[in-house]
Structure 1
């Protein structure tokens, strides 16, 4: 894999090309001072001072044990000077304007990743944000964003740096009605769509059995009409969401292999499908015995290491075998 392939999957790179068929998004370049704030783990957990007096935890039930990590002890005057509360007033005001323009609530992410592992800390228990303070809290509490900040090019043969020159904050418009059963990952090999997988593999959705053929036709037509000629990499994956009125929206692009999850496929299976010249293979969870347990972890869903021989690869293969045995016993 090359650095240019990873860079094409940054949202600030692909979104302008696919804006008309994607979720409405506003993107801001982040100052280096904010990046250093996210990376700084030398002192206490400090949230930025808000120039708008917005509280990142407005409705949280006070629990001294849970919240002690987010409070700064008074200490001496010298200690207070050593840990000044950070502030990013210009960035905060820009983000406030963007959130208002997007309807008052957003889903934030960096160049590649979202802070999925820190959703628990928000008052809503999700990545829904209505202020800069809430975004800063999610980002500062997230370990998964370390991939973007420090390890974006770890799988690249031609890497000369561990991080991009600039970081961007993408604010997706928040849609409360989005359903996880209508999100899918598409696998492209040599600019050919060879596989499609249900995105949320921890749940069985009966409706997918009914609509599978229609969904396949929608996604294949969308790829041919909107993606094939516009995305420059030969090998990659992209995620789509299908609305109630059957419009296809691009959610994200990811690299082929490396840290990207292959979901209901194995990477060697995808290579076989490509080499044999088979038609597009569309996989869904077809019964409750075939769900994939345990994938809701404290690392980003898109960047788990499931490469051949990894711990997750062995786990998933063992889970597959167990499910086959259970299915065979149930049939008997």
Structure 2
């Protein structure tokens, strides 16, 4: 697995890159989190308590309230008369700042910390997405996410020069919610030696036939954004960045990630990106899922999307190999031609 430096990891924090690329990104408001809220996110010593809202907002507005359910949220571990009700934590100053930002961004946002969004916790929200309209909904997603453990505890684990266990401060980025975003128009771009060497469809679990017709145009748009806005501005030599192409052919930067380590290469392999793909002077290779047979298995697990170990010999590597073998076996079988 490819290593990186702490400096390269730090450049990929949203509070570091967003101010520089604000004009070509999604509107975002960023709050530095007080340490006591970070401790709340990390605390697993007792029952799971949602914050008490000073705005009377409920993280689960559609749930049925009853005494038994409230006890699940409010009572400490213990038995009999020894069990004492726990007081839910409260973060009034932070809540009011976040409430103001949500209103400024149109009433709905999706949250992320320095590097990661709580994608693995979307199931717990009332909409099944990362759409949040209140501080309590944000707190629920952050507390329910295993993927954010990466940001809180493991961001520097793959650094060759590791001296840090965590960044000095954590930030909450609130990004404007767009209900009509199309997953097929998200792409990951790979930069090596400050040259764009590859582009991959971001959603590898679906085939979108219409992409084949737009492929060349999309590649030109992404190359133009890279040449005009990214190449001279992002200081790392090697990195990846994710983009979204709008219906009116504007390219928006969604995120930056380190080269290698816990960033998934998607339809590439890191070895070919490192050695063979997109040599300087060559045409940038743009890969999309061309058919249903090329669809990759969904990677929805209890760890973050970009925190999976897929290197040769790993469990996922063996899974993919077994899936390929089974596909070839079925293709060769007499029934396949029936």
TM-score tier (shorter): over 0.9
The residue aligned with 1:272 is 275
Alignment of 1:105 with 2:108, yes or no, is yes
> Per-residue deviation at 1:238?
0.4
Alignment of 1:164 with 2:167, yes or no, is yes
Please give the alpha-carbon distance, in whole angstroms, between the structure 1 residues aligned to 2:199 and 2:325: 22
The residue aligned with 1:73 is 75
Please give the alpha-carbon distance, in whole angstroms, between the structure 2 residues aligned to 1:319 and 1:325: 10
The residue aligned with 1:238 is 241
Helix, strand or coil for the counterpart of 1:181? helix
Name which of 14, 17, 32 aligns with 1:14. 17
Number of matched pairs: 330
Alignment RMSD: 2.4
The residue aligned with 2:133 is 130
Alignment of 1:32 with 2:35, yes or no, is yes
Contact preservation (8 Å) 1:51, 1:89 = yes
After superposition, the Cα gap between the structure-2 partners of 1:323 and 1:285, relative to the gap in structure 1 and judged at 3 Å, is farther
**1:212-253, CA deviations, whole angstroms, 9 ceiling, x for partnerless residues?**
111111111111111000000000000000000000000000
After superposition, the Cα gap between the structure-2 partners of 1:183 and 1:69, relative to the gap in structure 1 and judged at 3 Å, is farther
TM-score, normalisation: structure 1: 0.93
**Bigger mean CA offset, 39-48 vs 270-279:** 270-279
The residue aligned with 1:176 is 179
1:80-229 superposed matches below 5 A: 80=84, 83-229=86-232
Please give the alpha-carbon distance, in whole angstroms, between the structure 2 residues aligned to 1:69 and 1:148: 31
> Per-residue deviation at 1:172?
0.3
**Bigger mean CA offset, 320-329 vs 269-278:** 320-329
Helix, strand or coil for the counterpart of 1:263? coil
After superposition, the Cα gap between the structure-2 partners of 1:62 and 1:320, relative to the gap in structure 1 and judged at 3 Å, is farther
**Bigger mean CA offset, 158-167 vs 25-34:** 158-167
The residue aligned with 2:318 is 314
After superposition, the Cα gap between the structure-2 partners of 1:113 and 1:69, relative to the gap in structure 1 and judged at 3 Å, is farther
Name which of 300, 303, 319 aligns with 1:299. 303
Please give the alpha-carbon distance, in whole angstroms, between the structure 2 residues aligned to 1:220 and 1:321: 36
After superposition, the Cα gap between the structure-2 partners of 1:61 and 1:210, relative to the gap in structure 1 and judged at 3 Å, is farther
**Bigger mean CA offset, 156-165 vs 184-193:** 156-165
Contact preservation (8 Å) 1:189, 1:274 = no
Please give the alpha-carbon distance, in whole angstroms, between the structure 2 residues aligned to 1:248 and 1:76: 60
Please give the alpha-carbon distance, in whole angstroms, between the structure 2 residues aligned to 1:69 and 1:119: 24
TM-score, normalisation: structure 2: 0.91
> Per-residue deviation at 1:293?
1.2
Contact preservation (8 Å) 1:153, 1:159 = yes
**1:170-192, CA deviations, whole angstroms, 9 ceiling, x for partnerless residues?**
00000001000000000111111
Contact preservation (8 Å) 2:74, 2:88 = no
Name which of 42, 53, 57 aligns with 2:56. 53
Please give the alpha-carbon distance, in whole angstroms, between the structure 2 residues aligned to 1:270 and 1:184: 16
Which stretches in structure 1 are left out of the alignment for 5+ residues?
none
Alignment of 1:284 with 2:288, yes or no, is yes
Which stretches in structure 2 are left out of the alignment for 5+ residues?
none
**1:141-160, CA deviations, whole angstroms, 9 ceiling, x for partnerless residues?**
11110000000000011111
Helix, strand or coil for the counterpart of 1:125? coil
Please give the alpha-carbon distance, in whole angstroms, between the structure 2 residues aligned to 1:328 and 1:280: 34
Please give the alpha-carbon distance, in whole angstroms, between the structure 1 residues aligned to 2:329 and 2:198: 25
**Bigger mean CA offset, 291-300 vs 41-50:** 291-300
